[in-house]
């Protein structure tokens, strides 16, 4: 869930860059983006937990999980962005309603792709330093 605010930063900057107003399709795109970002974050955290069960330290587990999920997170983001770029560049009247939705998803993914691989493991490590990670891993 920690990656969601970073997604909204990308949404805001994308709308500013494209000269778009925030509207209902923008918010629908932001909600869709939250689902994508949370799925990526869940995968990273799950891999951290798997590495922790293998008796690695929290910092080592976070580093290794981030490296292992790099390709999957990057490919998910790149393919989604590549699929939405034609819609983002469309000039027809029918596409004008969907362009803010596509802008939210594209720019939000650009902002969060690297952040999911850096911020989520870092936050997990900080939680471990504070003694909160052991409570999470007791499932």
Convert the pLDDT of each residue in 59-79 to its tens digit.
999 999 999 989 988 998 999
Between CA 14 and CA 6 the distance in angstroms is: 12
Q: What is the pLDDT of residue 130?
A: 86
Rounded to an integer, the average pLDDT of 14-22 is 93
> Domains of the chain: which residue ranges?
4-136
Q: Which residue has the tokens 């795109």?
A: 29
Segment 17-31 mean pLDDT: 93
| pLDDT tens digit sequence for 72-100 | 889 989 999 999 999 999 988 888 889 99
Region of 55 on the Ramachandran plot (φ > 0 left; ψ -120 to 50 alpha; else beta): left
Q: Is the pLDDT of residue 22 over 60?
A: yes
pLDDT at res. 101: 94
How confident is the model at residue 134, as a pLDDT?
66
Other beta carbons within 10 Å of 12: 17
Which CATH architecture does the domain made up of 4-136 adopt? Up-down Bundle (1.20)
| Phi and psi at residue 2, to the nearest 5° | -70, -20
Q: CA separation (Å) from 23 to 11, 14, 98?
A: 12, 13, 11
């Amino acid at each position: 869930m920690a990656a969601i605010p970073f997604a909204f930063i990308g949404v805001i900057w994308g709308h500013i860059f494209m000269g778009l107003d925030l509207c209902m399709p923008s918010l629908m795109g932001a909600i869709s983006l939250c689902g994508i970002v949370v799925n990526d974050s869940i995968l990273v955290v799950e891999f951290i937990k798997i590495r922790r069960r293998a008796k690695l330290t929290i910092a080592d587990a976070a580093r290794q999980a981030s490296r292992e999920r790099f390709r999957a997170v990057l490919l998910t983001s790149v393919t989604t962005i590549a699929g939405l770029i034609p819609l983002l560049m469309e000039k027809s009247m029918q596409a004008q309603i969907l362009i803010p939705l596509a802008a939210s998803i594209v720019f939000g993914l650009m902002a969060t792709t690297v952040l999911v691989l850096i911020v989520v493991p870092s936050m997990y490590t900080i939680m471990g330093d504070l003694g909160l990670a052991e409570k999470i891993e007791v499932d």
